[in-house]
Structure 1
Amino acid sequence: MSVLKTGLAHPSRMRGIFRYLLHAKGQRENRDVLESILSPDKLVEHVPENKEKLKDKKMSHPMFNDALRESIKCKLLIEEDEEVAINPNLPQDAINPQLGDRLLPDTFTYLFFASDNEDEEDFGRVCAWYLAQDIYDAPGTGEEVENLVSEQKIGDFLKMSSSRLFVQMDDWMRYLGFAWGHTLRGKPVTVPDPTAYFKRNLKHLFNGRQEITIQDFINRLAKRCPLFETGKFREEVEAQIGSRETNFLSTSTAFALFRLQEEGDIQLERQSDSSFMILPKANNQVDNDGRISHIIWKGEKS
């Protein structure tokens, strides 16, 4: 079972366990001590299965237990004897007490989608599917997602058939930087926009270079996070809902690149005698600004 289908494995709970261990001695703690600190009995008295328990019976801590189980299953944490610890095999920056929390969304992204984690394949397909939708007309609520899944006849493929799964997808995609939300006519709406993820990973995607072709950028992006064009999960999704036009990027990827250019992080260029890719705008319209061959990184901002 993936985090998508484990409703109590919320990103904030898994992050809370990680943050505590990040600064603990040896980045480890006795499991019972960890539970008592992060999920004291007073907080779980309202849980139905705890209401009738005798005083000498151990309380149930479902939120903590589910978050811990999923953290161990995705290999963010490990369990040895009666202790829980941060996985020492993670990259050094990921477990650095000064950097680990800030890098955690990218650590999760790698562990979920780029490490051959079979448990999270359903989650990967759902995220890739949502990012493949037209950002200018994407389903923004649970009801709209259910309707589109039904319309595209991909319920069995995505294994996503309830609004509860949308809530979990929504929470995680926002935390990982693949989406954001706003309120429209009094209702919360989600937008599949990966700008935040792109911005965090520009240094890795350019890998010491200032300028690369857009094809190289997309290839590197797909390798780092296979939810995007040419990546494993996106390819599986497009096989179900139809592929993009030749050389076209999805509108969500294009939108993110245009945003990064507007914010001064990158510059999009079309250089003569170079092959280009097409970045469509609303209604799949393309103008001269959307025919791009190279991307220039402006460097890290202070």
Structure 2
Amino acid sequence: MSVFSIPDAVPSRVLAVYRYLLRARKQRESRETLERVLMPQGLADLSSKKGEPEEAEAEPPVQDSAAAQPSAPEGEEKGGRGMIKRVLAACESMRLLEKDGDGVVLSPDLPKAARDPKHAEDLAPLTLCDLFLKPENPINHDLARTIAWYLDFDPQRPPADWNFLDREHREQVRSLHMNNLARYGQLREWGCYLGFTWTFSSKKSTQFLIPDPTKHLRLRLPQLFPKPRASRAFTEVLADLAGLCGIFEEGVFRRENEQAGRSKPLDGRTLTRASAHAWLRLQEEGVVEMSHASDADAVQLPDDDQVVLYSQVRWRGEARG
């Protein structure tokens, strides 16, 4: 089950499971105990009595191999413990945890740092993002394609809300299987948590979802610059970034959107406004330094009404954060 299709599987609940197992004995727990800890009986009873509000769908959900699992299949608990069961199912699908007899265990395939309670929480956005993007497990690639598509929008003129997207970009939205408000909610929740977007509320109470991968890009810098303070060709950095995270330009999910006609093809040396603003913001903050040599291959960064060129980038070596 993709988190895109399970409204219950929001970042805070997935993190609750992750944090518990990080500190559990042998990083294992029985399902019954885990469900009881995460949803005490009194709270479960209250949730079941009140019922969980469900988002209205714009149309019947699209059914395919990577999307459109109903939030509570027929015959399954809808509230209380049922919610936790669906969250655990999503965690298993993304391979954050594995079945172990009558219990679950934190996946032994996770990187060592991702299983270390001292470091795992700081790395959690990268850990979960990497699980979503794994080629051998496409269950969450629908969300990755949708985030990559959303980064095409101008961060200074973002879509107003779900209704705007559904009205003005219906064909693209449907092809991404984002066919209801609940799935847009998952784009908003996970896009923000993973560091690709953030939200802004206007005076008219409109909540804009801003395409801005600055936070995620900052987290990737230690992977892009194994040797801090050394300059690298910008084109090489971007190629490595695309390999690490296929959501960015030239990455696998960006290319899939281009091939499907959802995103405008780029020439490999031009960034979207969202990515350009992220690099420029990191430069303004003193996190990176960018420069251009006239005889070097340049990357084009659209900035307001002009395009600026850079061929070299240097990370100053700050810690993640």
Query: Is the structural similarity TM-score above 0.5?
Result: yes
User: For 1:253 and 1:161, how far apart are their aligned partners in 2?
Assistant: 26
- How far residue 45 of structure 1 moved from its aligned partner, in angstroms, is 1.2
Q: Is 1:192 the equivalent of 2:214?
A: no
Question: Which of 277, 285, 289 is residue 299 of structure 2 equivalent to?
Answer: 277
Structure 1 SS opposite 2:289:
strand
Confirm or deny: 8 A CA contact 1:178 1:193 kept in the other structure: yes
Single out whichever of 245-254 and 16-25 deviates more from structure 2: 245-254
Question: Which of 262, 281, 296 is residue 284 of structure 2 equivalent to?
Answer: 262
Distance 1:41 1:227, change over 3 A: same
- How far residue 187 of structure 1 moved from its aligned partner, in angstroms, is 2.3
- How far residue 182 of structure 1 moved from its aligned partner, in angstroms, is 1.6
Q: Is 1:163 the equivalent of 2:181?
A: yes
User: What does 1:7-86 correspond to in 2, within 5 Å?
Assistant: 7-48=7-48, 61-86=81-106
Structure 2 SS opposite 1:126:
helix
Q: TM-score, normalised by structure 1?
A: 0.90
> Which residue pairs with 2:56 in the alignment?
none
User: Which one-letter code corresponds to 2:122 in the other structure?
Assistant: R
> Which residue pairs with 2:54 in the alignment?
none
- How far residue 154 of structure 1 moved from its aligned partner, in angstroms, is 1.7
- How far residue 134 of structure 1 moved from its aligned partner, in angstroms, is 2.1
Deviation readout 1:264-299 (Å, 9 max, x if unpaired): 1001110131010100023xx324xx2010111111
Structure 1 SS opposite 2:132:
helix
User: Which one-letter code corresponds to 2:44 in the other structure?
Assistant: V
> Which residue pairs with 2:6 in the alignment?
6
Q: Is 1:90 the equivalent of 2:110?
A: yes
RMSD of aligned Cα (Å): 1.9
Distance 1:2 1:148, change over 3 A: farther
Structure 1 SS opposite 2:46:
coil
Q: Is 1:204 the equivalent of 2:223?
A: yes
User: For 2:134 and 2:290, how far apart are their aligned partners in 1?
Assistant: 27
Q: Is 1:293 the equivalent of 2:311?
A: yes
Deviation readout 1:62-95 (Å, 9 max, x if unpaired): 2211111111111111111012111111110111
Q: TM-score, normalised by structure 2?
A: 0.85
User: For 1:226 and 1:62, how far apart are their aligned partners in 2?
Assistant: 33
Long gaps (5+) in structure 1: 52-58
- How far residue 181 of structure 1 moved from its aligned partner, in angstroms, is 1.1
Single out whichever of 92-101 and 200-209 deviates more from structure 2: 200-209
Distance 1:245 1:135, change over 3 A: farther
- State percent identity of aligned pairs: 30
User: Which one-letter code corresponds to 1:18 in the other structure?
Assistant: Y
Single out whichever of 203-212 and 72-81 deviates more from structure 2: 203-212
Structure 2 SS opposite 1:279:
strand
Structure 2 SS opposite 1:273:
coil
- How far residue 104 of structure 1 moved from its aligned partner, in angstroms, is 0.9
> Which residue pairs with 2:124 in the alignment?
104
Long gaps (5+) in structure 2: 52-78
Alignment coverage as a number of residue pairs: 289
User: For 2:181 and 2:84, how far apart are their aligned partners in 1?
Assistant: 23
Confirm or deny: 8 A CA contact 1:124 1:233 kept in the other structure: yes
Higher helix content, 1 or 2 = 1
